[in-house]
């Protein structure tokens, strides 16, 4: 079955709010086995809203509209859908009673006259109670067996209503489910990863693989369509094992909720290691990403931002002769920063970043985007030379991602006692 999402609200078109509802509903539709081929956003305009509904009915089996169910004059979703289907609006006594209860015993104030607008429903609609607001959800069936679902716009009302009522209703209509797992790869480019699995991509049917590029990572989403989650997992297992065979330790997780920095913190805890950071061009972004991980305080006690050469010398013990001979952006300085940070913080592991983020400061010998990253683990130090493209922010973000991945690899190599 084909699903279509219609998000209603001029505030979405103007960029005043982020349309998180569409992302949530897309994920839910996929999990239910619905193929979401179209997403449309329409402002608070009745004529354009009617046109969007008519177009959706020509190409989709399930149309889910969000927003525009409020009490004001610009809330037009219900009215537009009823007009397209040729259905009159009538007051639903149950909904009116719930609205009265919400005002009398919930927020304890008198309703205004326009609140009763929300008790009007199209003839023949299934009314879905809103336990977190006043606008009910509505389910309508057309004469040609299409399904139109109207949901309130506020996420605090939409999400619970979908989970409690709409999801169980839709699950009865779809004989299959769609299940996905994500294989996350660090330190490799999207083109290289795609080339390594081009034979799989060319012949895939069910399950399928879809590559997604992230800063410093590539995610491979493996998706199967099956009658049950158990069957989908069984179908996906050979493909995931093949990916593990091809990419080996480049894969840092197959869990959706695990981040690259989270994996590093997990490994540090497992091996009983502490970590510190020494940052120049990244200016604290690296330590910030590590701190974002819950429980990072168990392994991260102290960090250094040493932007100036004097700070590298004073706080990390980088020799002035090293800085003078090789420069702040060099393999030698990155190595000295990593070792010096570990010693100064009393840490087992240290990650160091020094580079030229731009837009100024580059030269023919050392261009913008040149970054050296060092990792010290219990007496062993590795340094990698990187060349990143993009603006200043992108160079800094890419440097941090590469540093975390280098840390992960070095901990695997040297971290075990």
Q: State how far the alpha carbon of 402 is from the alpha carbons of 247, 252, 305, 380, in Å.
A: 17, 13, 18, 18
Q: How confident is the model at residue 75 (pLDDT cuts 50, 70, 90)?
A: very high
pLDDT score, position 416: 83
Q: Which of 159, 151, 179, 164 is nearest to 62 (CA)?
A: 151
Element (H, E) at 89: strand 89-91
Instruction: List the strands of the sheet with 62-66, edge to edge.
Output: 35-42, 2-8, 62-66, 147-151, 137-141, 126-128
- Token reading at 413: 């190599």
- DSSP alpha helix (H) spans, 292-330: 309-316, 320-326
* pLDDT at 115 exceeding the cut of 90: no
What residue ranges in 187-307 does DSSP mark as E strands?
208-214, 217-226, 251-253, 275-279, 304-305
Q: How confident is the model at residue 196 (pLDDT cuts 50, 70, 90)?
A: very high
Q: What digits encode the pLDDT tens for the residues 377-402?
A: 999 999 999 999 999 999 999 999 99
Dist CA 407 CA 401 (whole Å): 10
Mean pLDDT to the nearest integer, 189-218: 94
Q: Find out whether 174 and 32 touch, Cβ atoms under 8 Å.
A: yes
Q: How confident is the model at residue 109 (pLDDT cuts 50, 70, 90)?
A: confident
Dist CA 329 CA 156 (whole Å): 49
Tell me phi and psi for residue 50, to 5 degrees: -60, -45
pLDDT score, position 105: 76
pTM value is: 0.80
* pLDDT at 409 exceeding the cut of 80: yes
Element (H, E) at 182: strand 177-186
pLDDT score, position 175: 81
Dist CA 408 CA 353 (whole Å): 15
* pLDDT at 108 exceeding the cut of 80: no
- Token reading at 333: 């300085």
Beta bridge partners of 354: 372
Q: What digits encode the pLDDT tens for the residues 144-180?
A: 999 999 999 999 999 999 999 999 999 988 888 888 9
pLDDT score, position 30: 86
* Three-class DSSP category at 164: helix
pLDDT score, position 177: 84
Q: How confident is the model at residue 110 (pLDDT cuts 50, 70, 90)?
A: confident
pLDDT score, position 324: 97
- Give percent above pLDDT 70 in the chain: 100
Q: Which residues contact 351 (CB under 8 A, 6 or more apart)?
A: 275, 276, 277, 278, 286, 338, 373, 374, 375, 403, 404, 406, 407
Relative orientation angle of helices 331-345 and 309-316, to the nearest 10 degrees: 40
pLDDT score, position 113: 82
The 10 Å CB-count burial string (b at 16+, else e) for 19-49 is bebbeebeebbbebbbbbebbbbbbbeeeeb
Q: Find out whether 37 and 50 touch, Cβ atoms under 8 Å.
A: no
Q: Which of 30, 40, 37 is nearest to 7 (CA)?
A: 40
In the 8-state DSSP scheme, what is residue 259?
A: -
The 10 Å CB-count burial string (b at 16+, else e) for 170-197 is beeebebbbbbbbbbbbbbeeeebeeeb
């Amino acid at each position: 079955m084909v699903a279509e999402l219609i998000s209603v609200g001029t505030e979405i078109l103007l960029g005043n709010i982020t349309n998180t509802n569409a992302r949530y509903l897309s994920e839910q539709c996929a999990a239910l086995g619905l193929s979401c081929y179209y997403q449309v956003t329409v402002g608070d305009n009745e004529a354009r809203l009617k046109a969007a509904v008519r177009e959706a009915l020509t190409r989709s089996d399930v149309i889910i509209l969000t927003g525009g169910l409020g009490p004001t004059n610009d809330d037009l979703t219900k009215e537009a859908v009823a007009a397209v289907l040729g259905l009159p609006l009538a007051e639903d006594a149950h909904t009116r009673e719930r609205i009265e209860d919400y005002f009398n015993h919930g927020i304890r104030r008198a309703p205004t006259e326009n609140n009763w607008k929300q008790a009007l429903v199209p003839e023949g609609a299934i009314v879905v109670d809103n336990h977190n607001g006043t606008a009910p959800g509505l389910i309508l069936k057309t004469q040609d067996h299409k399904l139109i679902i109207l949901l309130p716009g506020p996420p605090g009302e939409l999400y619970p209503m979908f989970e409690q009522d709409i999801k169980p209703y839709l699950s009865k209509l779809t004989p299959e489910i769609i299940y996905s797992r994500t294989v996350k790869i660090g330190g490799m480019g999207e083109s290289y990863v795609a080339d390594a699995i081009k034979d799989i991509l060319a012949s895939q049917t069910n399950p399928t693989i879809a590559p997604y590029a992230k800063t410093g990572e590539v995610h491979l989403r493996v998706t199967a369509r099956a009658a049950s989650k158990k069957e989908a997992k069984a179908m996906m297992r050979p493909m995931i094992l093949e990916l593990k065979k091809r990419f080996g330790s480049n894969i840092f997780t197959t869990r959706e909720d695990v981040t690259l920095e989270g994996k590093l913190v997990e490994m540090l805890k497992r091996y009983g290691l502490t970590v510190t950071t020494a940052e120049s061009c990244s200016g604290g972004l690296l330590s910030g990403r590590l701190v974002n991980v819950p429980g990072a305080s168990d392994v991260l006690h102290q960090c250094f931002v040493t932007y100036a050469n004097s700070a590298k010398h004073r706080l990390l013990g980088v020799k002035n002769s090293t800085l003078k001979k090789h420069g702040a952006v060099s393999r030698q300085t990155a190595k000295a920063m990593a070792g010096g940070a570990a010693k100064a913080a009393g840490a087992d592991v240290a990650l160091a970043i020094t580079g030229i983020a731009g837009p100024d400061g580059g030269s023919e010998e050392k261009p913008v985007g040149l970054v050296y990253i060092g990792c010290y683990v219990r007496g062993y130090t590795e340094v990698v030379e990187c060349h990143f493209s993009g603006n200043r922010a992108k160079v800094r973000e890419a440097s941090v991602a590469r540093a975390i991945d280098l840390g992960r690899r070095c901990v695997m190599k040297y971290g075990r006692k």
